[in-house]
Amino acid sequence: MAILPAWSQAAVLKGTIFDSNLEPVKAIVSLNTTPVQTIVAQNGSFSFEVPRGTYTLLAKAGNGNATETVSIVSDGTFNLDIVLFGFEEPKLEAPSAIPSAGFENQDTGIPQETAQKPAANDGWPGAIAVIAIVALAAYFLYTRRKDGHDKSRDKTPAETAKPVIIIKAPEKQEAGLTQVQETIIAELRKSEGRATQKELRKFLPFSEAKVSIDLDLLEEKGLIKKFKKGRGNVVILTDKGK
């Protein structure tokens, strides 16, 4: 019989577990309510019903894990996405060779043929064949190179000298972005599409409040996505932002 806790006032805590490539990953998610709630998130998604209070959520997948502290202050639905950095899928090891059953030295009663030593001149036909193949390959390479040189000499300078046209692609610009937002996108691209909000603040000559507001606007436009990590946020460029 399964006994479920009954709370007069409860909220819903849900979210998705992602790997470092922002792909949903199968994980084990636990929440330290009374009693503890644990689920296996098959597609990375989880959902818990919890009363008001402060809890610790633990997510494990492969060799990665993350812990987040969550405070439920009112009823409603709360969303919490977690990224497991350093997560690696378990590698499948190739099966080792089947050990010998120990029949090599047993007498099976079947007469075995004794190995015959090759004659001293058995290797000559193979060596001659290898030499012949190498000689033919060298001959064909020589004739092909010679034909190529002759054809290049027959061409006139007008035929050999072709104009080279270099078309430079225009730099990518995002429509409808402010200078601050364009600077944030540029710094994220320099950082391989990922940086903490604290690191962005160091690169930008703007106030912390200004950077935070513009990050929220960029997230609404779908150009970035923010994930909570510890006391700060990790900012990642989406495919649209790249």
CA 215/CA 35 separation, integer angstroms: 38
Q: Looking at the domain that runs over 179-237, which CATH code has it been given?
A: 1.10.10.10
Residue 161 has pLDDT above 70, yes or no: no
- Higher pLDDT: 40 or 7? It is 40
Tokens coding 120: 């001293």
Q: Name the packing angle between helices 179-190 and 208-220 (round to 10°).
A: 80
Burial class (CB in 10 A: 0-12, 13-18, 19+), 217: middle
The percentage of the chain sitting over the pLDDT mark of 90, rounded to a whole number, equals 24
- Higher pLDDT: 81 or 152? It is 81
Q: Looking at the domain that runs over 11-84, which CATH code has it been given?
A: 2.60.40.1120
- Pair 11, 51: CB distance under 8 Å: yes
pTM: 0.37
- Domain ranges within the chain, ordered by starting residue: 11-84, 179-237
For 200-213, what is each residue's pLDDT tens digit? 888 777 788 888 88
- Higher pLDDT: 158 or 201? It is 201
The percentage of the chain sitting over the pLDDT mark of 70, rounded to a whole number, equals 68
For 19-38, what is each residue's pLDDT tens digit? 888 899 999 999 999 999 99
Residue keyed to tokens 């790249």: 242
- Give the range with max mean pLDDT: 85-89, 100-104, 225-229: 225-229
pLDDT at res. 135 = 87
- Pair 36, 77: CB distance under 8 Å: no
* 3-class DSSP assignment, residue 172: coil
